[in-house]
Amino acid sequence: MTAVLTRNGPTNGHPAPTTGSNSEHTGFRPDVQGLRALAVSLVVLYHLYPTLIPGGYIGVDVFFVISGFLITGLLARSVARTGKVGLLGFYGRRARRLLPAATLVLTVTWVVSRQVLPVTQLSDTATQIRASALYFQNWVLAGNSTNYLKSDNAATPVQHFWSLSVEEQFYLFWPLIFVIGGFVAYLATRRTIGRHASALTARQRHVIGRSVCLLLALAIIVASLRFSAHETVSNPSGAYFETSTRIWELGIGGLLALLPGRVAYRLGRVGVLAWIGLAMVLVSAFTISGTSSFPGTIALWPVLGAAAVLACGSSSAKLGTARVMSRRPLVVIGDLSYGIYLWHWPIIVLWQAYYGSGIGYFDGPTIIAASVLLSYLTKRLVEDPIRSARFLRSTGRSLAVVALAIVPVTLATVFLINQPGASSGTIDASHPGAAALAAPAASSSPAAAKSATATTPDKVADAKIIPSLATVGSDYEVASLPNCKTSQTGTTPTICTFGDTATPTKTVALIGDSHAAQWSSDLDTIGKAEHWKIVVETKDSCTFGATTTTLNGSSSPYSSCVTWDKNVMTDLLTKIHPDVVIVSERADSGTTTNPKIDATAMAEIGKGMADYWTQLISHGMKVVAIHETPEPGKNIPDCLAERDATISGCAVSASSAVTKDTPTDVASTLMKGAVPVIDMTSHICTTTTCPAVVGNVIVYRDNQHLSQTYTESIEPYLKSALLKTAALSTST
């Protein structure tokens, strides 16, 4: 998933008052609104023009710090004033402040999405709208990012709600530090009275409670930061969205609000630190990029920068940033920032879906203007009236606002319930699939090949193709289901058995990544016919070989793959004992010495594959390789689902889709003919073109994997090729 589609977040944590003096009692500081305006500007500009501000997504980290600072300050003042936290009242105020606008955006976005988005994206959008309304969107995205089958899915119009989910999960437990602090102060009071000493004063109890809160906050921050650093390395895809890797960012803002008054006062007068902090935020936005390991320790730059501006940027600081950050235009934008963030991302995604192109330099200002206008209207007509309504000021009625979430949740759920199940369709005379390429005419000339694969009519809306566009994204082969593979973070092989498991004459193991798994349904069919037991072990993005590869363009070793490979080798030698091992991989990995995916890396990976094949052969097993399949480089179902899409318009050139000198090619050369290689490319592409649809069957279910229906049409040709090898011929 690209950084531009994942690194985004909401602009919440606004203080309840929007006017007032710069006093501790109201908690309002105009310079904080200015900081918020800067943060939302960075995020919006990054989403519009990611190459302009490559690290603009750090704006969300700034918002986390602001939110922790403001909300913790409100809680601390409430405890100092009343002596209690008032959890229900706190959650009621949060609901009244955030839910009305969020519900409106989610509902409008879903209604427009039904009209604008490709049908292939509606299921994901509905799922994420429901998750956003219930504040667990970040965990859906974390799961998708580590789920290889979903990691390349297009960004939905509500993906940005992930960080709003992080914040609300944070505030489920963060007020408990005040509860614990108050309880410790109470115990201290009882203990003092029990010793017949004078009772502690209210101020002393407050100091004890606040000190406990400070220590608890510090402990939580340290633990979360350490976990964030570890998870960013071991699970980089999921770490970005996890609440546990982000707690420390909100916590640092909260820590500022808990500092003793004298410390905060002295720190707040060192205005030069605010300028340093502001510089740290701006430098981070231009030097951190989408390929950076984030959040981890690198997030300390924008987080500590924002903290410095908050701590030292008020009007009381000498030579501080308050005069600049409190300018009226910045304060106005800061006041609208929550709505600007909520609206801008759906507009960007739906704009691109409608016009079928990227954001141009003249489109951006229009989108910004629309976001500001919608934010203003939302604030004036929805947010402010509901937040200030006397009728809703009681705790019970405030909490009742949560019921607003029923609207988008119901709309999304009804759609998902009525979605058709995954149906592959039937390979028949009207839908021959790969058989269209196998016809003699298909190979006689480019023109004849084009004629053999053409679908009439060419316009997708009029063509009768299978699977349906609504279900092709879930047209998986049997070994690609979650219970039959190992995830990117897993190291223990999952063994699945297919084919003839009752009276097999051979045991055939299928080993590799998801591109190996895409042949599992065919092998299941072939195994049942030829009496082979098919044993499958696959792991997402993991090449079966001795070379240490990397993952997702990172330079860090894909350590779990190394361990998994060794465990698979152990399984093959000690548990499975196959007669034949079929291997297949995808040519998309770098190595620790050559992180870039190029010919050098492929040669290294090919050598590692040959090393493993040699080990298997030395133990009496035969090895057969299935060559890497062509990759279109774009999501074929999404292309076909666009407005007025044509089937020919979604085809790609064979020269761009077919990779040359792949790791399998290198390994085969090193093995000097000892390992036969089966290449199914001619059943997927012509000599010049890789069509989106062949024989009325959609070839790919995403941007790289064949649909299960199309592989079903290839099965007779794969079977013939396998039986022609010495390893699997009927005479052996």
**Tokens 């798994």 belong to which residue?**
517
CA proximity to 412, closest of 36, 83, 123, 108: 123
> What pLDDT does residue 318 have?
79
User: Collapsing DSSP states into helix, strand and coil, what is residue 571?
Assistant: helix
Confidence tier at 713 by pLDDT (50, 70, 90): very high
Contact 486, 511 (CB under 8 A): no
DSSP states along 447-469: HHHHHHH--SS-BGGG---BS-T
Confidence tier at 312 by pLDDT (50, 70, 90): very high
Contact 632, 152 (CB under 8 A): no
Contact 128, 140 (CB under 8 A): yes
Per-residue exposure over 61-94, b if at least 16 CB sit within 10 Å of its own CB, e if not: bbbbbbbbbbbbbbbbebbeeeeebbeebbbbbb
709 residue type, one letter? T
pLDDT single digits (tens) 313-370 = 888 877 889 999 999 999 999 999 999 999 999 999 999 998 887 888 889 999 999 9
Contact 20, 173 (CB under 8 A): no
> What pLDDT does residue 422 have?
58
> What pLDDT does residue 16 have?
31
- Indicate whether 106 pLDDT > 90: yes
Contact 255, 221 (CB under 8 A): yes
Arithmetic mean of pLDDT, 269-286: 95
- Indicate whether 470 pLDDT > 90: no
731 residue type, one letter? S
Arithmetic mean of pLDDT, 104-125: 94
Confidence tier at 25 by pLDDT (50, 70, 90): very low
- The larger pLDDT score, comparing residue 393 to residue 99, is at 99
> What pLDDT does residue 692 have?
94
d(CA 12, CA 188): 37
Least confident of 266-270, 504-508, 617-621: 266-270
- CA dihedral in degrees (142, 147, 150, 151; nearest 10)? 70
Least confident of 56-60, 85-89, 122-126, 213-217: 85-89
Question: pTM for the whole thing?
Answer: 0.84
Arithmetic mean of pLDDT, 92-110: 94
- Indicate whether 453 pLDDT > 70: no
CA-CA-CA-CA torsion sign (458, 462, 463, 468): positive
Extract the tokens encoding 363. 């489109």
Helix axes 87-116, 406-417, angle to 10 degrees: 40
- Indicate whether 596 pLDDT > 70: yes
Distance of CA 394 to the CA centre of its chain: 38
> What pLDDT does residue 14 have?
35
> Percent of the chain scored above 90 by pLDDT?
62
Confidence tier at 3 by pLDDT (50, 70, 90): very low
Confidence tier at 441 by pLDDT (50, 70, 90): very low
d(CA 300, CA 295): 8
Per-residue exposure over 332-346, b if at least 16 CB sit within 10 Å of its own CB, e if not: ebbbbbbbbbbbbbb
CA proximity to 317, closest of 358, 268, 281, 363: 268
Confidence tier at 192 by pLDDT (50, 70, 90): low
- Indicate whether 269 pLDDT > 90: no
d(CA 398, CA 93): 6
Per-residue exposure over 509-547, b if at least 16 CB sit within 10 Å of its own CB, e if not: bbbbbbbbbbbbbbbbbbbbebebbbbbbbbbbbbbbbb
Alpha helices per DSSP H over 86-201? 87-116, 119-133, 137-146, 162-173, 176-194
Contact 545, 605 (CB under 8 A): yes
Q: How many helices (DSSP H) and strands (DSSP E) are in the chain? A: 30, 10
Confidence tier at 266 by pLDDT (50, 70, 90): confident
Arithmetic mean of pLDDT, 399-405: 85
pLDDT single digits (tens) 483-542 = 888 988 889 999 999 999 999 999 999 999 999 999 999 999 999 999 999 999 999 889
SS3 content of the chain, % helix, strand, coil (to 5): 60, 5, 35
> What pLDDT does residue 450 have?
54
Listed in order, strand segments (DSSP E) in 159-290 are none
User: Collapsing DSSP states into helix, strand and coil, what is residue 295?
Assistant: coil
Could you give phi then psi for residue 459, rounded to 5 degrees? Answer: -70, 130
CA proximity to 11, closest of 277, 344, 475, 506: 344
Helix axes 271-287, 30-48, angle to 10 degrees: 10
Please name the helix (run of DSSP H) or strand (run of DSSP E) that holds residue 482, with its range, or none. none
Contact 194, 186 (CB under 8 A): no
Entry field: residues in the chain: 732
Q: Please, which residues bridge with residue 521 across strands?
A: none
CA proximity to 632, closest of 722, 542, 687, 699: 699
- Indicate whether 8 pLDDT > 80: no
d(CA 62, CA 41): 12
Confidence tier at 428 by pLDDT (50, 70, 90): confident
> Percent of the chain scored above 70 by pLDDT?
90
Rg (CA), the chain: 29
Tell me: cis bond preceding 457? Omega within 30 of 0 counts: yes
Distance of CA 323 to the CA centre of its chain: 39
- The larger pLDDT score, comparing residue 302 to residue 464, is at 302
d(CA 314, CA 29): 7
**How many CA atoms within 13 Å lie on the side-chain side of 110?**
26
Extract the tokens encoding 16. 């309840």
Contact 509, 537 (CB under 8 A): yes
d(CA 613, CA 440): 36
Contact 591, 548 (CB under 8 A): yes
Could you give phi then psi for residue 51, rounded to 5 degrees? Answer: -75, -20
Least confident of 53-67, 94-108, 468-482, 524-538: 468-482
Arithmetic mean of pLDDT, 702-729: 91
